[in-house]
Amino acid sequence: MTNIRLGLVGLGKIARDQHLPAIASTAGIDLVAVASRNATAEGVNNYHDLAAMLAGEPGLDAIVLCQPPQARFDAARMALAAGKHVFLEKPPGATVSEAQALAALATQQGVTLFAGWHSRYASAVATAKSWAATHTLKHVTIDWKEDVRHWHPGQDWIWEPGGFGVFDPGINALSILTEVIGAPVRLIDAELETPANRQAPIAARLAMATAGGVPIAAEFDWRQTGPQTWDIVLEAESATLRLSHGGNMLVIDNVPQDTGLEAEYPGLYRRFVDLIGSRESDVDLAPLQIVADAFLRGRSRSTEAFDD
Ligand code: NAP
């Protein structure tokens, strides 16, 4: 079987930090072209935008979209309409309805659509999922607190409508939650704090519940300096599991577990290659739906103006 010929769109932070090395280390897929308005990549054909790349590279099999969510839908629709398999960075859309429309178009076109949730490929998530399946949960707590100035300097899109604000990292926690305990997770209540000079929240508190009524409390905050917190704690009767470092460290009943090396993006690309091989799609919108529900149901509070 010949390798999948891939084109990448949006040569920014995540494309350079994670996608390029993961593609290079994944069997069965070759990066052939990049579309970027501002940058070029070495060793591939470079184009200004997706339309030019599709016109110049009719042999491409698949496209990975690494731009901010506001640009996702138009690009994905163009790639799917051209008959290409598509890998969407998280989140799969700026709205639930546009992600649903993309899934329907992929089915119509007979191509693969992969909504990648990189945190689900963190090294401890599969073990946590097995643990959750064999324990009766009593309570789940999520603390996802980081310094936005450190992680997202100058990313204006993240503060704009459709940029998700603190839900940009928070949705990673929700992607782990829904993987580990399974959907449906019901959003009950939310409180969003939005800086007076911004469109998207800097902090959020969510009250949720599993289908069986187990309470889930989540706190997302972008104002945390010093040590960063990406923790999920599952409490069962007389047993506790703590996932930390964004799903890459695991402690069960105070005993640290061996979880192996971090390899989220290689895991994502292996999954994309497998999905293309079996002509399947993987578009789980559960994390995006919870975020949408938080905006729908939540109480919003204006807070102090915030600049990078
Ligand atoms: P970024 O560096 O700010 O932007 C990525 C690239 O997207 C830019 O370099 C630019 O590419 C293109 N772009 C920016 N604004 C655009 C716009 N309005 N319209 C069209 N294209 C635009 O962002 P990022 O941090 O890589 O994040 C991109 C996506 O990856 C987001 O959805 C984010 O949630 C996700 N993600 C990010 C991280 C992370 O650590 N940063 C981790 C996991 C997932 P060109 O100049 O090449 O056109």
For residue 77, give the CATH number of its domain: 3.40.50.720
pLDDT the model gives residue 308: 83
Q: Could you tell me the residue range of the domain that residue 150 belongs to?
A: 120-258+292-303
If asked whether residues 106 and 155 sit together in one domain, one would say no
Which residue has the least CA distance to atom 4 on ligand 1?
12
Give the number of domains in the chain: 2
Strands 203-210 and 215-221: antiparallel
CA distance 59 to 180: 38
9, 14, 72, best to mutate for ligand 1 pocket (most atoms within 8 Å of CB): 14
If asked whether residues 206 and 220 sit together in one domain, one would say yes
If asked whether residues 14 and 161 sit together in one domain, one would say no
If asked whether residues 85 and 171 sit together in one domain, one would say no
| Centre of ligand 1 from the C-alpha of residue 69, in Å | 8
pLDDT the model gives residue 183: 75
Which residue has the least CA distance to atom 19 on ligand 1?
71
pLDDT tier, 261 (very low <50, low <70, confident <90, very high otherwise): confident
Task: Calculate helix-pair angle for 72-81, 96-109, nearest 10 degrees.
Answer: 10
If asked whether residues 127 and 232 sit together in one domain, one would say yes
pTM as predicted:
0.97
Question: Is the model's pLDDT at 1 over the cut of 80?
Answer: no
Q: Cβ(169) to ligand 1 under 6 A?
A: no
Residue 204 within a domain: yes
Nearest to 32 by CA among 51, 41, 77, 81: 41
8, 9, 11, 13, best to mutate for ligand 1 pocket (most atoms within 8 Å of CB): 13
Residue 263 within a domain: no
Q: Cβ(52) to ligand 1 under 6 A?
A: no
| Centre of ligand 1 from the C-alpha of residue 159, in Å | 13
Which residue has the least CA distance to atom 36 on ligand 1?
14
Residue 188 within a domain: yes
Question: Is the model's pLDDT at 55 over the cut of 80?
Answer: yes
Q: Cβ(215) to ligand 1 under 6 A?
A: no
Residue 273 within a domain: no
If asked whether residues 112 and 126 sit together in one domain, one would say no
Residue 279 within a domain: no
| Centre of ligand 1 from the C-alpha of residue 67, in Å | 4
CA distance 170 to 40: 31
The region of weakest confidence among 5-9, 171-175, 256-260, 275-279 is 256-260
If asked whether residues 297 and 152 sit together in one domain, one would say yes
If asked whether residues 64 and 176 sit together in one domain, one would say no
If asked whether residues 127 and 171 sit together in one domain, one would say yes
| Centre of ligand 1 from the C-alpha of residue 85, in Å | 20
The CATH number of the domain holding residue 248 is: 3.30.360.10
Q: b/e for 263-302, b at 16 or more Cβ within 10 A? A: ebbbbbbbbbbebbeeeebbbbbbbbbbbbbbbeebeeee
Residue type at 150 in one-letter notation: H
pLDDT tier, 262 (very low <50, low <70, confident <90, very high otherwise): confident
pLDDT tier, 51 (very low <50, low <70, confident <90, very high otherwise): very high
pLDDT tier, 248 (very low <50, low <70, confident <90, very high otherwise): very high
| Centre of ligand 1 from the C-alpha of residue 114, in Å | 18
Burial class (CB in 10 A: 0-12, 13-18, 19+), 211: exposed
Mean of the per-residue pLDDT values of the chain: 97
The set of catalytic residues is 90
Q: Cβ(155) to ligand 1 under 6 A?
A: yes
Question: Is the model's pLDDT at 228 over the cut of 80?
Answer: yes
If asked whether residues 213 and 89 sit together in one domain, one would say no
When pLDDT is averaged across residues 210-224 and rounded to a whole number, the result is 97
Structural domain ending residue among the three candidates 64, 85, 116: 116
Residue 145 within a domain: yes
Structural domain ending residue among the three candidates 94, 116, 138: 116
If asked whether residues 170 and 297 sit together in one domain, one would say yes
* Ligand 1 atom closest to residue 36's alpha carbon, by position in its atom list: 47
pLDDT the model gives residue 123: 96
| Centre of ligand 1 from the C-alpha of residue 12, in Å | 5
Structural domain ending residue among the three candidates 116, 133, 161: 116
Q: Cβ(122) to ligand 1 under 6 A?
A: no
Residue 296 within a domain: yes
Q: Cβ(13) to ligand 1 under 6 A?
A: yes
Residue 280 within a domain: no
pLDDT tier, 260 (very low <50, low <70, confident <90, very high otherwise): confident
Question: Is the model's pLDDT at 268 over the cut of 80?
Answer: yes
pLDDT the model gives residue 112: 98
CA distance 125 to 135: 15
Which residue has the least CA distance to atom 7 on ligand 1?
67
* HEC-encoded secondary structure of the chain: CCCEEEEEECCCHHHHHHHHHHHHCCCCEEEEEEECCCCCCCCCEEECCHHHHHHHCCCCCEEEECCCHHHHHHHHHHHHHCCCEEEECCCCCCCHHHHHHHHHHHHHHCCCEEECCHHHHCCCHHHHHHHHHCCCEEEEEEEEECEHHHHCCCCHHHHCCCCCCCHHHHHHHHHHHHHHCCCCEEEEEEEEEEECCCCCCCEEEEEEEECCCCEEEEEEECECCCCCEEEEEEEECCEEEEEEHHHCEEEECCEEECCCCCCHHHHHHHHHHHHHHCCCCECCCHHHHHHHHHHHHCEEEEECCCCC
Work out the number of other CB atoms within 10 angstroms of the CB of residue 226.
Answer: 6
When pLDDT is averaged across residues 71-85 and rounded to a whole number, the result is 98
Q: Are 228 and 146 in contact (CB under 8 A)?
A: yes
pLDDT the model gives residue 240: 98
